[in-house]
Amino acid sequence: MFTTRTPRVVAARRLRRRRERDATGRFLAEGPQAVREALRAARVRELFVTEAAAAHYPDLAADGSPITEDGLAALAETVQPQGIVAVCEAVDVPLAGAFTNNPRLVAVLAGIRDPGNAGTVLRTADAAGAATVVFAGDAVDPYNGKCVRASAGSLFHVDVVRERAPAAVVAAARAAGLAVLAATGHGDADLEALADAGALTAPTAWLFGSEAHGLPEHLLAAADRTVRVPIHGRAESLNLAAAAAVCLYS
């Protein structure tokens, strides 16, 4: 049985660091939901399973390596891990490749640094039917453990793109025939009015900025329209994940 000292466990544990993930093209997926989707996507390179988890998830544990509870805890980032962690191959696709299949809905996370927010938006984009999610500019690593968990397996359902130049993302989306809409609390256009007018039926790339700073001015200027989600009550604003859900489903 594998332990904290087993070389393969030691190597896997290094993947909790971004530098190691970037160097190897691999990352950790923790928990049954993420592991199940990783297996379906054929992205699992190694699977570690405790005895208790093997009894609870026999469908997932068939090809797993048995590991002690302490060994698993060394890989997991949650306080109460569920006993199953996979080493997965990164799912990145190049920017150009992400637009060759003519996606109708794309979410662009421009400079979003919070992994929980980023993973939740990725999950929402998947649920809304987006084919591609772009992590643009100085955005969080999509393979950050918290981001992977927040995506609840959706990381393996969409094309994930990492692009340092947000302007290149806008150019690629426009070249592929997508309208580029920037979500901002101070947008010129009202989301509900656009929806009522049928203006959201075309293929669309939505730009979302960080909750703290929003989208930078150059991206707002590059978008075809800046769009605000109307606030009907007394709330000051919506958080990023909620606003993204409303926009993407519209």
Is the domain of 234 the same as that of 124? yes
Q: Which of 167, 113, 105 is nearest to 132 (CA)?
A: 105
Q: Among 61, 89, 117, which residue terminates a domain?
A: 89
Is the domain of 149 the same as that of 177? yes
Q: What is the pLDDT of residue 101?
A: 84
Q: What is the pLDDT of residue 143?
A: 98
Instruction: Answer yes or no: are the C-beta atoms of 138 and 113 closer than 8 Å.
Output: yes
- Is 16 domain-assigned? yes
Total domains present in the chain: 2
Is the domain of 52 the same as that of 106? no
Q: What is the pLDDT of residue 191?
A: 97
Is the domain of 158 the same as that of 58? no
- Is 2 domain-assigned? no
Q: Among 34, 67, 89, which residue terminates a domain?
A: 89
- Is 185 domain-assigned? yes
Is the domain of 211 the same as that of 225? yes
Is the domain of 65 the same as that of 181? no
Enclosing domain of residue 57: 7-89
Is the domain of 130 the same as that of 237? yes
What torsion, rounded to 10 degrees, do the Cα atoms 86, 11, 155, 221 define?
Answer: 170
- Is 27 domain-assigned? yes
- Is 1 domain-assigned? no
- Is 204 domain-assigned? yes
What torsion, rounded to 10 degrees, do the Cα atoms 136, 142, 143, 147 define?
Answer: 150
**pTM of the complete model:** 0.94
Instruction: Answer yes or no: are the C-beta atoms of 114 and 147 closer than 8 Å.
Output: no
Cα–Cα dist 30/75, whole Å: 9
Q: What is the pLDDT of residue 104?
A: 96
Q: Among 37, 54, 89, which residue terminates a domain?
A: 89
- Is 46 domain-assigned? yes
Is the domain of 77 the same as that of 149? no
CATH classification of the domain holding 73: 3.30.1330.30
Beta bridge partners of 31: none
Is the domain of 45 the same as that of 148? no
Is the domain of 59 the same as that of 180? no
CATH classification of the domain holding 114: 3.40.1280.10
**Digitized pLDDT (tens) for each residue of the chain, 250 residues in all:** 999 999 999 999 999 999 999 999 999 999 999 999 999 999 999 999 999 999 999 999 988 999 999 999 999 999 999 999 999 999 999 998 999 888 999 999 999 999 999 999 999 999 999 999 999 999 999 999 999 999 999 999 999 999 999 999 999 999 999 999 999 999 999 999 999 999 999 999 999 999 888 999 999 999 999 999 999 999 988 999 999 999 999 9
Beta bridge partners of 159: 132
Instruction: Answer yes or no: are the C-beta atoms of 39 and 60 closer than 8 Å.
Output: yes
- Is 15 domain-assigned? yes
Cα–Cα dist 37/157, whole Å: 8
Is the domain of 50 the same as that of 110? no
Is the domain of 70 the same as that of 153? no
